């Protein structure tokens, strides 16, 4: 579903280019999947951010999926001191594990946000009636409609816990960038997880081999969508990192915990 979402959000040379997607073995977490992507998103930035970035830039995302534990890291192609680190754990509960990541942080260093995939407001440009979980019901599983208070009544149920750390080391922009990034991350998590449930009939019968075939096919289509436009744009609008001057020496690090509750069982995901 991430592959489908990436394809939908890619257009006019912006979106997600998949660089690698292959099996990976970790001595601690065991067998998993490693994915590397480049996310081109200049036009999606606010005006104040576009004023300080090149016309073409991308965020590199590297993810290690050892379900039910995943690690995702993001860094910027021209800001080496900017990074986002996301840890994810899945449990069969309603978001009741207050310290799933077993970390000790001061209260002012962490904010806990509960993401309600049915009733939290999403940006208007992303709204689709077919993905409105207040009215959606799965034909295959009969899950949904999600009514007010569904988190306390829905079975089966699963929570996706995410620990999001943002680090930015550019003087004068750190607070604004940190707040902007956390808002974007929350919006992306809300939209992506709404879609994961709304698209359940598309993936519920897939085997893991089906998933890999689907990913491979979708990645090829998305890369064509993004890379062809990027090549055309780069020949007409060259940009040089030499044109960018960055004054750093200040840093900020923010921690957010996100809890997304889903009406599915772990065995299905």
Q: What are phi and psi of 230, to 5 degrees?
A: -65, -40
3-state secondary structure 200-227: HHHHCCCCHHHHHHHHHHHHHHHHHHHH
Tens digits of residue pLDDT in 140-157: 999 999 999 999 888 889
Q: What's the pLDDT at 166?
A: 87
Extents of the domains making up the chain: 1-116+158-198+207-232
In b/e form, how buried is each residue of 135-174, taking b as 16+ CB within 10 angstroms?
A: ebebeeeebbebeeebbeebeebbbbbbbbbbbbbbeebb
Q: Is the pTM of this model over 0.95?
A: no
- Region of poorest pLDDT, from 19-23, 45-49, 131-135, 181-185: 45-49
Q: Is 131 helix (H, G, I), strand (E, B) or coil?
A: helix
Q: What's the pLDDT at 102?
A: 79
How much of the chain exceeds pLDDT 90, in percent? 35
Mean pLDDT of 162-167: 89
| Residue 34: its H or E element | strand 30-40
Mean pLDDT of 88-92: 93
Q: What's the pLDDT at 181?
A: 83
d(CA 59, CA 52): 15
Mean pLDDT of 220-237: 63
| Fold of the domain built from segment(s) 1-116+158-198+207-232 | Alpha-D-Glucose-1,6-Bisphosphate; Chain A, domain 4 (3.30.530)
Q: What's the pLDDT at 70?
A: 94
d(CA 260, CA 113): 9
Mean pLDDT of 61-74: 93
Strand-strand pairing, 69-76 and 110-115: unpaired
Q: What's the pLDDT at 126?
A: 86
User: Hey, what are 120's tokens?
Assistant: 């939290």
Residue 219: partners with Cβ closer than 8 Å, 6 or more residues away: 3, 18, 21
- Region of poorest pLDDT, from 119-133, 144-158, 159-173: 159-173
Q: What's the pLDDT at 155?
A: 86
Q: What's the pLDDT at 16?
A: 78
Which residue from 255, 261, 93 is spatially nearest to 181, judged by alpha carbons? Answer: 255
d(CA 263, CA 266): 10
User: Hey, what are 27's tokens?
Assistant: 């001595």
d(CA 16, CA 95): 30
Mean pLDDT of 230-240: 48
């Amino acid at each position: 579903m991430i592959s489908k979402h990436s394809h939908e959000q890619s257009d006019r040379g912006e979106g997600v280019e998949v660089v690698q997607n292959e099996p990976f073995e970790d001595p601690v977490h065991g067998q998993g999947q490693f994915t590397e992507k480049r996310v081109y998103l200049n036009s999606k930035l606010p005006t104040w951010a576009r004023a300080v970035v090149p016309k073409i830039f991308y965020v590199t995302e590297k993810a290690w999926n050892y379900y039910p534990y995943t690690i995702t890291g993001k860094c910027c192609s021209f800001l080496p001191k900017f990074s986002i680190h996301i840890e994810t754990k899945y449990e069969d509960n309603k978001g009741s594990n207050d310290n799933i990541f077993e970390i000790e942080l001061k209260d002012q260093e962490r904010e806990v946000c509960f993401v309600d995939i049915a009733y939290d407001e999403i940006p208007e440009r992303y709204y689709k009636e077919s993905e409105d979980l207040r009215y959606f019901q799965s034909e295959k599983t009969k899950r949904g409609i999600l009514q007010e208070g569904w988190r306390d009544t829905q079975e089966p149920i699963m929570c996706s816990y995410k620990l999001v750390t943002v680090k930015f080391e550019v003087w004068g922009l750190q607070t604004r960038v940190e707040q902007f990034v956390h808002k974007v991350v929350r919006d992306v998590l809300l939209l992506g997880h709404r879609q994961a449930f709304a698209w359940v009939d598309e993936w519920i019968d897939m085997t893991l081999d089906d998933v890999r075939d689907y990913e491979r096919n979708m990645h090829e289509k998305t890369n064509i969508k993004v890379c062809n436009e990027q090549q055309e744009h780069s020949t007409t609008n060259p940009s040089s990192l030499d044109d960018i001057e960055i004054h750093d020496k200040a840093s900020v690090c923010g921690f957010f915990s996100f809890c997304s509750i889903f009406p599915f069982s772990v065995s299905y995901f």
